[in-house]
Structure 1
């Protein structure tokens, strides 16, 4: 049984706060077996993580910004352009052999694809039904309900943007410590979810920082 955090960000993300090294060290401290580094629209952090000596298995990935919201592609080390149609992004990721997860699908303020495309769940391999950054659990519950309707397995992710929160969303996978075996086990539903919520104060602070960064970027580009 492997303890996996399948949704983690590093400083390679625009809104990430921790180095790759700090993320990995915290994963070790929390007793995780596997983490997926899924920075926003870049595989730089995931590729760099492959050079660090650790017993933690690091699955490379990326959280892609499609026109309709975010999509996680695991198992790839090439970027896919942001801003494409959701289904075109899915097709490109499939061509690369990616395992696809729909993250926070029903969060209205965090690029949830499920709020815009009713059948998006049918296009992916798994649904993130526990995201530790959901302060109100209703969106997580809706994701679980919709996943069952489409007969898709559910996974968890911390969505950590700071090393402190790595391991707050864990998918326990009945699998060998091998990337394809993990993907196969998730597809077969040999998983269970363990999680706790990111503290409200921390989540709010991160949100305010992100808003400030966006405002600064807009001002610079005027």
Structure 2
């Protein structure tokens, strides 16, 4: 069984705090076999990671900001335009050969798609049933219940925006250590999702920093 963190950000994301090198170092330190680097609306971090020699397998991807919320697309090396209808984004991602994961689907403040689109879960390959950046676990539990109801595999991700928290979400995958095998195993439901919560103080601190960045961007636009 491989130990994987399927949702990690680097400082190529507008709200990421750690370099690609720091993320890879921490992933190796905590014993991960593979990580998915899915920065917000860019593949630059993942592409940079692929140039670095590491014992940790890098799965390139992107977290797309669709019109209805966020979507993880793994296995792609091109940007998918943000702001499009969710289902149009799904079609583009499918045409690119990506593996689709619905992240934090029931989190109101973090662009959970399933809050607005009940049929969103049916459109993806897997559901993030454990995201470590929750103050309480009810949304994770709901994601797990809905995934089981629709027969969708469950995965976990730290959603780390700082390397300190890489590995806080762990997906155990019954696969060989290569991307095609991992994707086939996820689609086949050969996964176990779990982990531990990001400390509340760290989570709220990151959220406040992100809010401040948004306010400053709006001020500069005026």
1:71-220 superposed matches below 5 A? 71-220=71-220
What is the CA deviation profile of residues 101-122 of structure 1, one whole-angstrom value per residue up to 9, with x for unaligned ones?
A: 0000000000000100000000
Separation (CA, whole Å) in 1 of partners of 2:202 and 2:134: 12
**Which runs of no fewer than 5 residues in structure 1 stay unpaired?**
none
Separation (CA, whole Å) in 2 of partners of 1:55 and 1:137: 32
- Secondary structure class of the residue paired with 2:177: coil
Note if 1:28 corresponds to 2:28.
yes
Separation (CA, whole Å) in 1 of partners of 2:59 and 2:21: 15
Across the two proteins, how many residue pairs are aligned to each other? 222
Superposition CA RMSD, Å: 0.5
Separation (CA, whole Å) in 2 of partners of 1:59 and 1:188: 18
State the TM-score, normalizing by the size of structure 2.
0.99
Runs of 4+ in 1 over 3 A off after TM superposition: none
- Secondary structure class of the residue paired with 2:128: strand
Deviation at 1:189, TM superposition (A): 1.2
Deviation at 1:194, TM superposition (A): 2.7
What is the CA deviation profile of residues 28-75 of structure 1, one whole-angstrom value per residue up to 9, with x for unaligned ones?
A: 000000000000000000000001010100000000000000000000
